[in-house]
Structure 1
Amino acid sequence: MATRRAVLRALGALGLVAALPGCSRSYPDLRLKLATGAKGGNYFTLGTALARAWQIELAATTEVLTTGGSLANLTLLASGGADVVISQVDTAADQLRRTPDGPRSPRALSRIYDDVVHVVVPAGSPVTALAGLRGARVSVGASDSGVLVIAQRLLRATGIDPVTGIRPTNLGITQSVAALEAGTIDAFFWSGGLPTPAVDDLARRLPIRLLDLGDIQQSLRKVYPVYTPGTVPAGSYTIPEPIQTLLVRNFLLVGAAMTDDVAHALIQALFQQQPALAQAIQLALTIDLRAAIGTQPVPLHPGAEAFYREAKNADS
């Protein structure tokens, strides 16, 4: 965990502890349900820290919901079971296509951080490309997770049916790591920060490789332009060579019906409490005022738009 001094120094170097709009007003009657992910994961850790930030800055009451991930979170947002959710861009874009308008249609408060797609195999595996997973025992991510969405898309783009072309199982990251180490699966998909602690720990016990996705980046992005090409640097997870992969943006989302003042207050409180967020999870250091508006194709909530305009004016 980073020290507060180190966090403030890092944020200052990025120009993120500069002028922000003034203090948030208090919302003691505001009750929010925040849908995150599995306990111990980045969504849950960041969501728990956000809940504390909103309690401190707004006097709001916030309940943190544990879920399977992006798909479950967007279902909760659409049904009214959650007021704020964290989601990957691909699943958010799908939900926006289904419900472009209406009170529960997704609207973004912020781009928060980017995930790196991992396809993990033991170092001694004969599989060297996605096509080699045909017929293999593969964890495609937990049910209702964003990992499942991208795993199925990658497999289809390779010409593998994600149901019949492999022997799929739905495991979260902790269970996937344990299953690969035990030899009960041959590979697993994951989308998370770099490094993902669970994968890093696995690499210390079991030599692993990441499958290179360079040969499929272009064809997948023609169909799903929400993904961005990326590289896992050499040395990550003790893998000597760089690996071509995909990056997946993560968003903080609310329903379109949220009032502008509440949406404004939520995102303002996030940036005011960013040092505390970064102490809880270092990924919060990457939440950047300049990049936060990059939520396409999901539109920014008008209240969030107003906040970013004010922040820009305050910094000029």
Structure 2
Amino acid sequence: MTTGTRLRRRALLRAGLALGAVAALPSCAPSAPVDRLVLAGGVQPGVYINVARALAGIWQERLAPAAPPRVLTTAGSAQNMELLVTGGANVAISQVDVATDVAAGINGPAEPLALARLYDDVTHVVVRRDSALRRLTDLRGARVSVGPSGSGYQPIALRLLDAAGVGVAGLGARAGMGLPEAVRALREDRIDAFFWSGGVPTDGIRELADALPIRLLDLGDVLDRMRERFPVYSVGTVPATTYGLPGPVSCLSVRNVLLITAAMPDEEARSLIDAAFAAQPRLAEASPAAVTIDSRSAIGTQPIPLHPGAEEFYRSTKGY
């Protein structure tokens, strides 16, 4: 078994997918109209849930579906992918690394396909401003939340800790808190640091920074190693002005994609992305992270292929 295969299998297990259930999905079936849009969103407060709600509102107004779109609050990317490929949702937002791992080996109607690249997530490692923690290696022996199972950022946190030579075993205590709980725990000094991956700025962290001076750990010393092992990641910078930081911080970034499955008819898929871009200012209002969403960058969903309906839309706008 190759290393890549082992990673994909571990990712499927982290996402909570029952391999037997996925294998039992029909390999071919005619595309049928979607009765109701169900969007797998994310945690509150967070960019995923805000963008999902904005999309639901846009589609309700512009497409007038028979039933109002429903937005699900979830732990994040891994749970969203589980919902998408098992039929619990027909639209999902996910980090492209998680989506790629889960999509491996899935064919037929359940195959995840992209409508658009949305924006890039940035991995935050948040500590109190008065903390002595400066680098990932300083987390050895610390109380750290790596994010909940089902989130997209827990796998990133574990990979970063491994790249830093700390690993989970090197932590003093490991917690699996979601963003709201981690924010409270840091304020109450119950943890020393927490991981989060989200758009910049993320509301929950901005609110924390308004109440408590914070810093983000600089990841520059492990980024080359991370990208060698996982080329899907990119390097970015969080400006100091984002959260009132002492200075800019080197970070890890990963693309977010808007996904449906091959079961979605081409015409409906095209209508969804057409309506979304027609009301793009509404997405920007939902979160500053969504300001960068446009039809030229939206085709960059690799290695997840675009849905044929989305391809038709981008060709018509000369974005493809």
Query: With structure 2 as the length reference, what TM-score do the two structures score?
Result: 0.84
1:238 is paired with a residue of what secondary structure?
Answer: coil
Which amino acid in the other structure matches residue 48 of structure 2? Y
Distance 2:61 2:159 in 1: 41
2:56 is paired with a residue of what secondary structure?
Answer: helix
CA-to-aligned-CA distance 1:246-291 (integer Å, 9 cap, x gap) = 1121110011222111111110110112233333333332211110
1:171 is paired with a residue of what secondary structure?
Answer: coil
Q: CA deviation at 1:34?
A: 0.8
Match of 1:41 in 2: 46
2:37 is paired with a residue of what secondary structure?
Answer: strand
CA-to-aligned-CA distance 1:129-177 (integer Å, 9 cap, x gap) = 1111122111111221111121111111112232564411111111111
Which residue among 249, 255, 271 is the counterpart of 1:249?
255
Which amino acid in the other structure matches residue 176 of structure 1? A
Match of 2:57 in 1: 52
Distance 2:49 2:241 in 1: 28
Corresponding position: 1:218 with 2:224: yes
Corresponding position: 1:133 with 2:139: yes
Taking the TM superposition and a 5 Å limit, the aligned residue runs for 1:156-195 are 156-162=162-168, 165-195=171-201
Which residue among 91, 94, 103 is the counterpart of 2:98?
91
Q: In 2, are the aligned partners of 1:28 and 1:58 still within 8 Å (CA)?
A: no
Distance 2:33 2:307 in 1: 22
Decide whether aligned partners of structure 1 residues 126 and 283 sit closer, same or farther in structure 2, where only a CA change above 3 A counts.
closer
Of residues 285-294 and 236-245 in structure 1, the stretch that sits farther from structure 2 once superposed is 236-245
CA-to-aligned-CA distance 1:75-97 (integer Å, 9 cap, x gap) = 01111111010101111111122
Give me the CA root mean square deviation: 2.0
Decide whether aligned partners of structure 1 residues 242 and 93 sit closer, same or farther in structure 2, where only a CA change above 3 A counts.
same
Which amino acid in the other structure matches residue 222 of structure 1? E
Which amino acid in the other structure matches residue 121 of structure 2? D
Which residue among 204, 211, 225 is the counterpart of 2:210?
204
Q: CA deviation at 1:28?
A: 9.5
Q: CA deviation at 1:98?
A: 4.3
Q: In 2, are the aligned partners of 1:70 and 1:91 still within 8 Å (CA)?
A: yes
Runs of at least 4 residues off by over 4 Å:
none
Query: With structure 1 as the length reference, what TM-score do the two structures score?
Result: 0.85
Distance 2:170 2:262 in 1: 38
Which residue among 288, 297, 306 is the counterpart of 1:300?
306
Q: CA deviation at 1:57?
A: 1.7
Q: In 2, are the aligned partners of 1:160 and 1:166 still within 8 Å (CA)?
A: no
1:235 is paired with a residue of what secondary structure?
Answer: helix
Distance 2:284 2:202 in 1: 16
Distance 2:119 2:60 in 1: 22
Q: In 2, are the aligned partners of 1:28 and 1:59 still within 8 Å (CA)?
A: no
Match of 2:285 in 1: 279
Match of 2:73 in 1: 66
Of residues 27-36 and 181-190 in structure 1, the stretch that sits farther from structure 2 once superposed is 27-36
Distance 1:209 1:216 in 2: 18
Which amino acid in the other structure matches residue 312 of structure 2? A
Identity of aligned residues (%): 53
Distance 1:183 1:159 in 2: 25
> Unaligned regions of 5+ residues in structure 1, if any?
1-26
Decide whether aligned partners of structure 1 residues 293 and 29 sit closer, same or farther in structure 2, where only a CA change above 3 A counts.
closer
Decide whether aligned partners of structure 1 residues 275 and 225 sit closer, same or farther in structure 2, where only a CA change above 3 A counts.
same
Of residues 236-245 and 43-52 in structure 1, the stretch that sits farther from structure 2 once superposed is 236-245
Q: In 2, are the aligned partners of 1:35 and 1:67 still within 8 Å (CA)?
A: yes
